[in-house]
Amino acid sequence: NMKEIATCDWTIEVVVERLDIKQSIFTEAEKYRKPGTLITSNTSGIPIHLMAEGRSDDFKKHFCGTHFFNPPRYLRLLEIIPTPHTDPEVIDFLLHYGDLYLGKTTVLCKDTPAFIANRIGVYGIMAVFGLVEKLGLTIDEIDSLTGPVIGRPKSATFRTADVVGIDTLVKVAKGVYENCPNDEAKNTFIIPSWLEKIVANNWLGDKTGQGFFKKTKGAGGEKEILSRDLKTLEYQPRTKSKFATVEAAKPIDDLKTRLKALVNGADKAGEFYRHFHYGLFSYISHRIPEISDEIYHVDDAMMAGFGWEIGAFESWDVLGIDKTVKAMRDAGYRVAGWVDEMIASSAKSFYKIETGKRLCYDVSSKSY
């Protein structure tokens, strides 16, 4: 029905994540597209400028990335990714339209691999996969540690991967590894052998009926959820995880106070939370200004796209920037130079309230 594009004000491409296929679709779409109409891509990681190669000037002027997070009826994030050719009026229109008429949290992104939310979110998931091996944790333990107790969705880590599609997660991770040679945490995106086996066996999550979890019927016909043992790759009944740190922190209603208690834990859970947060803080510090000039864009994207209750920089504020950086260094984690400069100045937090307004630290001007 390509001819119907002639009747549209805005055409969105949402086909398979292959550049050659997308380019052939755009070649066809341009035959019918009316000049002056919007044409955008919903890719989750292919560089936007590459898709517009060979297209007319009018096409390029009205083309950019509009990455809706899936499922769009639940997740509020809409990433707007312009190319050097995109008309500034088109960018302003989409940011406004997405916000006011679609009810989205619209975030302006740079055309870098995986944009903002997937770059940080997939780093976070891959870092957790690394901690599984380092600390000897199970799927059930990880999902109990990375869900609502730290202000993340119930789907936590492994369940999120099943919903999104394990193959999609692996594609984004490989894309970052291959296309971000200067990423200091590049090796975090290397796919572990057990994950390669899961993809090879087509255990891709909900869409194939099994992934890290599998729904079955018990002997009495009741629904049972099994989880995969990552050592044997066999399924086993789910087990309830008990960590002293988590049990002590659960009754704390205030998330910010609870995060402090979790990171200070003396057991394996406390060790996990320290590595988990230190790795994340190190990573986000090095992504400014690579993926965004503004700190708050990173937090907005993670809250709207991954359902976090609190942004990554905001979490760092909660745990105390200066104190945490010292602990990070002792644990072998590096921060970007601008964070040290910020600490050395009078700025002691990423966010602050002044005369009733919430202000955010700006790295380029070194002010709020």
Active site residues: 44, 67, 79, 118
Identify the CA nearest to 197 among candidates 157, 228, 152, 239.
Answer: 228
| Residue count of the chain | 368
Identify the CA nearest to 76 among candidates 317, 326, 305.
Answer: 305
One-character DSSP codes across 334-359: ---HHHHHHHHTT---SEEEETTEEE
Any residues with CB less than 8 A from the CB of 195 and at least 6 apart, and which?
Answer: 129, 166, 170
Any residues with CB less than 8 A from the CB of 303 and at least 6 apart, and which?
Answer: 105, 309, 310, 311
If phi > 0 it is left, if psi is from -120 to 50 it is alpha, else beta; for residue 202 that is left
CB atoms within 10 A of CB 140: 21
**C-beta separation of 157 from 128 below 8 A:** yes
